Structure 1
């Protein structure tokens, strides 16, 4: 496999080593430092994904027009805006810095996936995207490790978050020295499969919301902020491990995808009943959500890259757009329902998870006819 796949994957790892610490800190910063109501946090997250989805589509569209590498480098270089969240004096400033950097993260993601598709063969895609995801969230896992340790020792976020700019910058430099290629895919698109995957990933986005909600759930259950932050580490760690596992095991794309969606259903259902058990019950559920995320991030782009013809960038942009629509609806709904009761929120998520499973099941049945 092309060595530039590993450069791109390492770029993702270093970037996540920085900005995922900010992502994990954001709900803690808003809810527990600035005392913003949870439903407001849900609205902010919805806004980040709702507006961010247009940046995702724009990034994918421009990848086909001006080149995937240019878009990926430009977007990644501006993710560093997230690091300034720790310098915010109030909730408004924190939200502004967070959204600015997050939008740039969305802008570069489809382009980065397109870079991988352009330098790999079809039969290498699952492995390539699995490695990309493993190193991507592996960096995020390490970010949560150092964040949790620093929070345990009462180091303020105002000192921690500005330093996340360093690994993000390293990630950008790795993209600069990476090479992109030219599309070699078949010219015809499979519109039916593309549409089915887009519907399924939108439902999956609704059902898996922002990781901030499990962070809040664990913090409320345990009354410990550092255990809430560690929640995100469990999520990213399991996702990294299984991204790597999915890249090597022999499993069909659709089989892996429907299995991941089903795990999301089980995890959401479990949150309803295991909230009082603290980390003993909740951490395994977060682990399952991480596996589900790895499945989606490995098999969805692999499928889209094979059925998008020459317009891989657009296909990746549409994939991010659909997931973003799901996150927008999911975070808004979760925020409102969570304000009433956590059980209502997770019941809603479990029902939508089951809908995503059924969507892929129907797609597989139609594909085999």
Structure 2
């Protein structure tokens, strides 16, 4: 433990490499692009005559496709020597497919394009995390992943603000979606020209690197999977907050206010992503992540206990924002702690489990909402999230300064 303390103390005085910041800039523009589409998705779907179940299926199946791509991307990250071309390709696919949603004539076309975008996003995610992990000084994992996630969520914060402003100024939903092509291409350029390749050494292709992941890591994945089965897409909370206002003939100003609500959610995630990652470097991953999971479960309970509205919606999204920002940075940092040298494999499994959980959660909440009630749908999600938090509390936490055995 003295070694761990000394390592953490030395790390505290180090600055993050510029390349970590470049990854943050890329994530900012990537999220600015696809989150702008996501925040106007309810308006687009309502205009096509679709409802909560369609939104849940789109979110859930897209995440399921992404989870398969993440698994393959994770395995590839531990076998391919050069990852950067694949990461650039993944960002490019997402940047092209999401703006194409503007020309969709049915929600099925939206599902197909969103699925294609999420395949690109999924395949490059564990590779990006692997390249990022290779640049981080020992003991700064939480801070580095926290910064990258905070920049990512900053893009997600700006996206609905821009979308809301354009809606209030009279822009159509379709025109806003087409505009998202520009930040997407900027993201591709940043990765292509400002991020370095970090080839995997040939010596790492030995039998040890192909050994199965540890029992502790499997325990960690199981807990994440249970929690993720209730961790639905938070855009569903925005749709719930609209209440009776969510109708096909609703004015654009209504969806502008909904975009502002989504921006508030993303503002909370920005702060929680960096703070959560930073604090987890000092206090440990488990207490921070379990606390965030508990707040997320409470956020899911708000629709069970309160009526839809802007205030109750904002409260639910505040709690959910604390969850999403923290989990995205701390889950990655904890996976890196437990992965040893197999970052790609570990990130691939983590992203896959989270993606399958997203499929189950979002599709189930959407289906239960339409077939029963919002109270039952969100109540079931809250129960699974609470159970996942309890299971996560039982995962052993290893010292970040000592390689796992």
TM-score, normalised by the number of residues in structure 1: 0.93
CA distance in 2, matches of 1:208, 1:231: 19
- Report the CA distance between 1:366 and its aligned residue: 11
Structure 1 residues 287, 333: CA separation in 2 closer, same or farther (over 3 Å shift)?
same
Q: Which residue number corresponds to residue 179 of structure 1?
A: 196
CA contact 2:296–2:320 (8 Å) conserved in 1:
yes
CA contact 1:63–1:71 (8 Å) conserved in 2:
no
Q: Which residue number corresponds to residue 363 of structure 1?
A: 395
Q: Which residue number corresponds to residue 229 of structure 1?
A: 259
- Report the CA distance between 1:323 and its aligned residue: 0.3
- Report the CA distance between 1:189 and its aligned residue: 7.1
- Report the CA distance between 1:252 and its aligned residue: 1.1
CA distance in 2, matches of 1:198, 1:332: 21
| Partner-residue secondary structure (3-state), 1:207 | coil
Q: Which residue number corresponds to residue 43 of structure 1?
A: 57
The correspondence for 1:83, drawn from 99, 104, 108, is 99
| 2:243 equivalent to 1:220 | yes
CA distance in 1, matches of 2:293, 2:23: 27
- Report the CA distance between 1:4 and its aligned residue: 0.2
1:1-369 equivalences under 5 Å are 1-30=16-45, 32-66=46-80, 67-80=82-95, 81-176=97-192, 177-181=194-198, 191-220=214-243, 223=246, 224-249=254-279, 250-276=282-308, 278-339=309-370, 340-364=372-396
CA contact 2:224–2:392 (8 Å) conserved in 1:
no
Aligned length in residues: 365
CA contact 1:126–1:247 (8 Å) conserved in 2:
yes
| Partner-residue secondary structure (3-state), 1:363 | coil
CA distance in 1, matches of 2:236, 2:363: 11
| Partner-residue secondary structure (3-state), 2:283 | coil
CA contact 1:4–1:179 (8 Å) conserved in 2:
yes
For structure 2, list consecutive stretches of 5 or more residues without a partner in the other structure. 1-15, 247-253, 400-405
Larger deviation, residues 191-200 vs 325-334: 191-200
Q: Which residue number corresponds to residue 4 of structure 2?
A: none
Larger deviation, residues 154-163 vs 66-75: 66-75
For structure 1, list consecutive stretches of 5 or more residues without a partner in the other structure. none
CA distance in 2, matches of 1:222, 1:252: 44
CA contact 1:82–1:102 (8 Å) conserved in 2:
no
CA distance in 2, matches of 1:190, 1:150: 48
Post-superposition CA distance 1:155-197 (Å, at most 9, x none): 2111111111111111111111202435699968761221122
CA contact 2:27–2:151 (8 Å) conserved in 1:
yes
CA contact 2:286–2:397 (8 Å) conserved in 1:
no
| Partner-residue secondary structure (3-state), 1:139 | helix
- Report the CA distance between 1:145 and its aligned residue: 0.4
Larger deviation, residues 196-205 vs 355-364: 196-205
CA distance in 2, matches of 1:71, 1:137: 23
CA distance in 1, matches of 2:290, 2:244: 31
CA distance in 1, matches of 2:174, 2:47: 11
Structure 1 residues 140, 72: CA separation in 2 closer, same or farther (over 3 Å shift)?
same
Structure 1 residues 87, 191: CA separation in 2 closer, same or farther (over 3 Å shift)?
same
- Report the CA distance between 1:92 and its aligned residue: 3.0
Q: CA RMSD in A?
A: 2.2
- Greater helix content: 1
Structure 1 residues 366, 349: CA separation in 2 closer, same or farther (over 3 Å shift)?
farther
- Report the CA distance between 1:221 and its aligned residue: 5.5
Whose radius of gyration is greater, 1 or 2?
2
